[in-house]
């Protein structure tokens, strides 16, 4: 029996998961238009490779990774490119971003798929193929998977598989484990091979008995020594740092990565996508998404990336009093700017919201520093102090108090008796710090460019002087005439400076 470690804080929440697990995963009908954003992951957006009017095949690369932290974007189906233009994307800001708009032809013609012989290929080549396949973390962080599969100089001893899915209402990982456990196990073995991990621990919350049973069966059928560990259903048990600590007792230090302490952590959805990419040559063009909340038919569907959220929620039949849609869970999710935004790689759940289901909070009142927020904070922070620093725009102090260790789980906001939206203040402070950092980097770049320009001008001036000296004297040494001219210039400068000094001296004599 493995010893589990209880992380600090957390909450026991009503999970509301049973309502969306009664039906099997179903494919979503092909929409009339797919809007595929070129920025769906942490890092740089992909560079568009197609133009309006061009025909594309299903799985064709339409966005080339740019920069190291970036991965590919692919056509979810075959059809014609209608536009490459800014469209509204799922983000709290409601801003637009560059998207490839595709009109499906209904034929679902695939590009040639090339599986990867990962056992006999160079690991770096396998990671490059995974990067091109567009794999990013499907647990919500959408961090490019090829980077997490590269431990560098570190040695990864333990691979932790995240099947906790702790946030209320979300059941996409639960249903994926129930229905497609053999593919997930195959993905785990690929990741273990690339990382060189000795031990594999699969953490699944104990409120998912069907998923635990399905994964155990798949692990035994595959003849693997992976250990499946039921973990207590305490929110946020599925946070990366919290799950790693629960299973291993090791704490990832502030500012460090799991690789630095010999660990790696992958979501089950990411590992399923890894198996499809490596064993079947399929890029990431769809994902399982939960439709729940104020709908008549809560369920999980497999939706193509780029499907409008309106089409997605229509499958759940939203009720007339639905007033908004939330992407993600009720604790960490955000209200979508509208149902026209597309499904992206991070869309694990869409909750239809209504005033009856999610009553508006009372108006916030002043902080009374009761400390309840600190008691439930899983990152051992002082939320009331971070709130004060963020509100007063004392961002330096907020960083000193480890603002960026906050995982924005929302536990502090949930228990605040003053109803202060604490996480909103932390997000605001982080965005301001990032914006100022970008401005500082831009100013540094401008300063370096200016210094380079001055250096270039000085170098050109010296070069002109050298050529003039060679032309007039035949050597690099200045001619007698030029020396006389330079001496005259120096004398003129001395005369120009002398009157002021003489005036002072004369004043003192008088």
Show binding-site residues for [4Fe-4S] cluster: 367, 370, 373, 377, 406, 409, 412, 416
CB burial of residue 261 (10 Å; 0-12, 13-18, 19+) = middle
143 with 345: CB under 8 angstroms?
no
CB burial of residue 486 (10 Å; 0-12, 13-18, 19+) = exposed
168 closest CA partner among 351, 7, 353, 424? 351
Residues at the binding site are 367, 370, 373, 377, 406, 409, 412, 416
* Angle in degrees, CA 380, 381, 383, rounded to 5: 135
DSSP string, 265-277: EEEHHHHHHHHHH
Q: Which residue has the tokens 């692919």?
A: 74
**In this structure, how many other beta carbons lie within 10 angstroms of the beta carbon of residue 65?**
23
Instruction: Tell me the helix, strand and coil percentages in the chain, rounded to 5.
Output: 40, 20, 45
DSSP string, 293-319: ESBSS-EEEEEETT-BHHHHHHTT-B-
């Amino acid at each position: 029996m493995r010893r589990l470690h209880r992380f600090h804080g957390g909450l026991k929440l009503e999970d509301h998961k049973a309502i969306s697990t009664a039906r099997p995963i179903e494919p979503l009908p092909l929409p009339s238009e797919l809007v595929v954003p070129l920025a769906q992951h942490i890092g740089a957006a992909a560079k568009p490779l197609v133009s309006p009017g061009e025909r594309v095949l299903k799985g064709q690369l339409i966005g080339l990774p740019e920069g190291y932290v970036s991965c590919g974007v692919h056509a979810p189906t075959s059809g014609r490119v209608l536009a490459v233009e800014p469209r509204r994307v799922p983000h709290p800001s409601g801003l637009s971003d560059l998207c490839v708009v595709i009109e499906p032809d209904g034929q679902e013609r695939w590009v040639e798929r090339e599986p990867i012989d990962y056992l006999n290929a160079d690991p770096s080549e396998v990671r490059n193929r995974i990067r091109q396949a567009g794999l990013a973390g499907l647990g919500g962080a959408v961090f490019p998977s090829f980077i997490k599969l590269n431990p560098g100089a570190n040695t990864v001893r333990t691979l932790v598989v995240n099947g906790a899915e702790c946030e209320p209402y979300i059941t996409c990982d639960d249903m994926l484990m129930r229905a497609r456990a053999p593919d997930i196990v195959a993905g785990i073995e690929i990741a273990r091979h690339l990382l060189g991990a000795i031990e594999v621990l699969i953490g699944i919350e104990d409120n998912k008995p069907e998923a635990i049973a399905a994964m155990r069966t798949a692990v035994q059928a595959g003849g693997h020594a992976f250990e499946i560990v039921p973990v207590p259903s305490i929110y946020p048990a599925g946070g990366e740092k919290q799950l790693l600590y629960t299973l291993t007792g090791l704490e990832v230090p502030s500012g460090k990565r799991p690789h630095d302490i010999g660990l790696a952590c992958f979501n089950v959805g990411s590992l399923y996508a890894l198996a499809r990419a490596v064993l079947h040559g399929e890029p990431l063009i769809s994902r399982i998404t939960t439709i729940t909340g104020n709908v008549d038919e809560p369920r999980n569907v497999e939706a193509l990336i780029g499907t409008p959220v309106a089409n997605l929620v229509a499958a759940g039949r939203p009720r007339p009093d639905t007033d908004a849609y939330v992407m993600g869970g009720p604790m960490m999710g955000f209200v979508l700017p509208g149902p026209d935004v597309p499904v992206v790689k991070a869309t694990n759940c869409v909750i239809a919201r209504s005033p009856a289901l999610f009553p508006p909070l009372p108006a916030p009142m002043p902080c009374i520093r009761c400390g309840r927020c600190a008691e439930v904070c899983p990152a051992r922070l002082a939320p009331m102090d971070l709130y004060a620093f963020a509100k007063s725009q004392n961002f330096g102090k907020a960083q000193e108090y480890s603002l960026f260790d906050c995982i924005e789980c929302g536990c502090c906001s949930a228990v605040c008796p003053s109803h202060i939206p604490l996480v909103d203040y932390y997000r605001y402070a982080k965005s301001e710090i990032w914006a100022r950092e970008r401005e500082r980097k831009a100013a540094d770049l401008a300063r370096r460019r200016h210094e380079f320009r001055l250096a270039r001008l000085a170098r050109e001036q010296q070069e002109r002087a050298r050529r003039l000296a060679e032309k007039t004297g035949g050597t690099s040494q200045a001619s007698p005439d030029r020396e006389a001219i330079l001496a005259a210039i120096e004398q003129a400068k001395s005369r120009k400076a002398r009157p002021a000094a003489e005036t002072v001296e004369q004043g003192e004599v008088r």
